Amino acid sequence: MSRARTLMVQGTASSVGKSMLVTALCRIFAQEGYRVAPFKAQNMALNSAVTADGGEIGRAQAEQAAAAGIEPTVEMNPILLKPEAEQRAQVVVRGRPWATLSAREYQARKAELLDVVAAALEHLRARYDLVLIEGAGSPAEVNLKADEIVNMRVAALAEAPVLLVGDIDRGGVFAALVGTLELLTPAERARVAGLVINKFRGDRTLLEPGLAFLEQRTGKPVVGVIPYLPAIGLAEEDSVALEEHRAVVVPGRVEVAVVQLPHLANYDDFDPLAAEANVRFLRRPAELGEPDLIVIPGTKSTAADLAWLRASGLAEAIRRAVDRGVPLLGVCGGYQMLGRCILDPERVEADQPEVPGLGLLDVVTRFASTKQTVRVAGVARAGAGVFAAVAGTPFRGYEIHHGRTERGALAPWLTVRERGGVPVTAEEGAIREDGLVAGCYIHGLFESDRFRQALLRALAARRGRAVGVTAFQRAAAYDRLADHVRRHLDLEAIHRWLQLPLRRSR
């Protein structure tokens, strides 16, 4: 059986566009009819996804698989690091928790995982025509290079030519590209087949002298200058992107305020809402205002973020807003925070065995070392207030959490009818009698069109707001991105490196 060709995308730093470019290339090669899969050996992210068999991987690799038109698998991201409080991270290996380690502890044990990386890569190469590999951070981190298992070591393992990407929008792109190459070994430098400049704004002719300099100085061709593309519509890899996020505000639309917790996880839950409503992320009470809906989202460190919520003053500001009649939704860790208390006898997250919750829902959460990662589907139940509007609407989503939450006298909000592909009938979440507060464990609820639009219409009706008519479609975003990159990247050169014929897109 022939092994897949490979191409690797590395960057001069984090957030320069590696994930974006791999996503675009996945779509482009899939449109040409190639069987293509993404791969990232090690990912550090709090935005994650669940595979069909219940494994957990980075959100970016699930996005790239979707762009390629395939189901994501744990082999596409065999190692996922999920940062926790106190400078530690949960290490997820092949979709399952492996250990919780400090940075120094992980560095000492990283060599144990090289075989896992190699096996996952070979698994994909045996099943696809092309594997598109994403690096992490920069390959020129000289203090970490000796033990790295995600950049040049993977390129050598995969026998992959490397595209090196720099972000011109942040400044210093020429120094970043030249400096990165200078810090590589001769063998590593030889693997770099071409350079790409991302997020360009302005007149290309003014850039030409710089491109000529790069090619003359490095001996590497500049194979792409990708113009800045606003509102790409892709799920971001992590909440770092929120630091540069500027919400598009449409006057008169429904307003949703999402609390930007320090360990915010899976904030792409709200991308579908942002296509049809004004979504704001906030960190201070003064930013709360009078939204139509407040959301406390998921987090990797529930107890620590709950303490932050109180210390910041947001807990009290949210309580006062609910008293004024503003609906509140908790998702996953946010749902746990809304309850009476969080019990953690095994110290899975907290330093103390019991942490008081916000007391806005009559539920109690008990943490356990077992982690639930599963895809689910179901239907919303009847309720009160704006949340009653979704009654009878179907949803699909996924769960990623430690612990179980038990209701007191409250009614469940949702009914799960399928869990991990198996038919079930299970009650999920809770809703307060007055219909102002609800919570559940389900991520991805708002990608279900009928569910999302029913809730937005109900919120709009309360205050005479509007709901946008732009349907949320990630597939359209993949096509738009592919078209954009295709226009500005030398695909003929890339096909030559890969020895794959350039085909007409299907």
Total of domains in the chain: 2
Residues 342 and 488 in one domain: no
Which DSSP symbol is given to 251? Answer: T
pTM greater than 0.75: yes
Reduced 3-state DSSP string for 306-319: HHHHHHCCHHHHHH
231 or 294, higher pLDDT: 294
Instruction: Estimate the crossing angle of helix 302-311 against helix 314-323, to 10 degrees.
Output: 80
Q: Can you list the alpha helix ranges (DSSP code H) found in 344-473?
A: 449-463
Q: Phi/psi of residue 209, each to 5°?
A: -60, -35
State the pLDDT confidence band at 327, using cuts at 50, 70 and 90. Answer: very high
Q: Are residues 261 and 185 in the same domain?
A: no
Residue 83 lies in a domain: no
| Cα-based distances in Å from 443 to 142, 446, 475 | 38, 8, 19
Pair 311, 454 in one domain? yes
Q: What is the mean pLDDT of residues 306-326?
A: 96
**417 and 287 co-located in one domain:** yes
CATH number, domain containing residue 118: 3.40.50.300
Grade residue 237 by pLDDT with cuts at 50, 70 and 90. Answer: low
| 269 located within any domain | yes
pLDDT above 60 (res 243)? no
The pLDDT, as a whole number, for residue 469 is 62
Tell me how far CA of residue 350 lies from CA of 17, 177, 342, in angstroms.
35, 43, 9
Please check whether residue 172 lies inside any domain of the structure: yes
Is the pLDDT at 324 greater than 70? The verdict is yes
Q: For residues 196 and 258, state if they share a domain.
A: no
> Which pLDDT tens digit goes with each residue over 197-208?
999 998 888 999
The pLDDT value given to residue 242: 56
- Residues 349 and 431 placed together within one structural domain of the fold: yes
Amino acid 249: pLDDT: 81
pLDDT of residue 46: 86
Distance CA 369, CA 6 (A): 38
Question: What's the mean pLDDT in 116-140?
Answer: 97
Helices (H), 168-301: 173-182, 186-191, 204-218, 271-274
pLDDT of the residue at 68? 97
* The residue to which tokens 């590589």 are assigned: 184
Q: Which of 72, 71, 68 is nearest to 48 (CA)?
A: 72
Rounded Cα distance between 418 and 3, Å, is 37
- The per-residue pLDDT for 422 is 95
pLDDT in tens, 465-494: 888 766 567 788 899 999 999 999 999 999
442 and 307 within one domain: yes
The answer to whether residue 1 scores a pLDDT higher than 70 is: no
Q: Do residues 318 and 271 both lie within one domain?
A: yes
Q: Judge whether 505 lies within some domain.
A: no
Tell me if 318 sits within 8 A of 338, measured CB to CB: no
Task: Report the percentage of the chain scoring pLDDT > 90.
Answer: 76
* Pair of tokens at residue 418: 């399928």
CATH number of domain containing 272: 3.40.50.880
Q: How far apart are CA 307 and CA 328, in angstroms?
A: 19
Residue 441, Cβ density class (10 Å: 0-12 exposed, 13-18 middle, ≥19 buried): buried
pLDDT tens-place string over residues 158-202: 999 999 999 999 899 999 999 999 999 999 999 999 999 999 998
By CB atoms closer than 10 A (0-12, 13-18, 19+), residue 139 is: buried
Establish if 386 belongs to a structural domain: yes
Instruction: With a cut of 90, say whether residue 373 has pLDDT above it.
Output: yes
- What's the whole-number average pLDDT of the chain? 92
pLDDT confidence tier of residue 38, bands split at 50, 70 and 90: very high
- Spatial neighbors of 244 by CB under 8 A, at least 6 apart, are none
Read off the pLDDT of each residue in 343-364 and give the average, rounded to a whole number: 87
Helix, strand, coil percent values for the chain (each to nearest 5): 35, 30, 35
pLDDT digits (tens, 9 = 90+) for 426-464: 999 999 999 999 999 999 999 999 999 999 999 999 988
The whole-angstrom separation of Cα 467 and Cα 489 is 37
Structure confidence at residue 88 (pLDDT): 87
What per-residue confidence (pLDDT) applies to 346? 78
Where in the sequence numbering do the catalytic residues fall?
Answer: 332, 443
pLDDT at 40: 98
* Cα–Cα distance measured from residue 117 to residue 110, given in angstroms and rounded to the nearest whole number: 11
Same domain, 171 and 278: no
Residue 17 lies in a domain: yes
The C-alpha atoms of residue 180 and residue 326 are separated, in whole angstroms, by 51
Instruction: Look at residue 238 and tell me whether its pLDDT is greater than 60.
Output: no
362, 489: one domain: no
Q: Are 186 and 290 in a shared domain? A: no
Residues 157, 195, single domain; the answer is yes
Give the domain extent around 283: 251-463
Q: Are strands 293-296 and 328-331 parallel, antiparallel or unpaired?
A: parallel
Phi/psi for 159 (5° steps) reads 55, 45
Let me know if residue 106 belongs to a domain: no
Structural domain includes residue 51: no
> Is the pLDDT confidence value at 335 over 90?
yes
**Residue 338: pLDDT band by 50, 70, 90 thresholds?**
very high
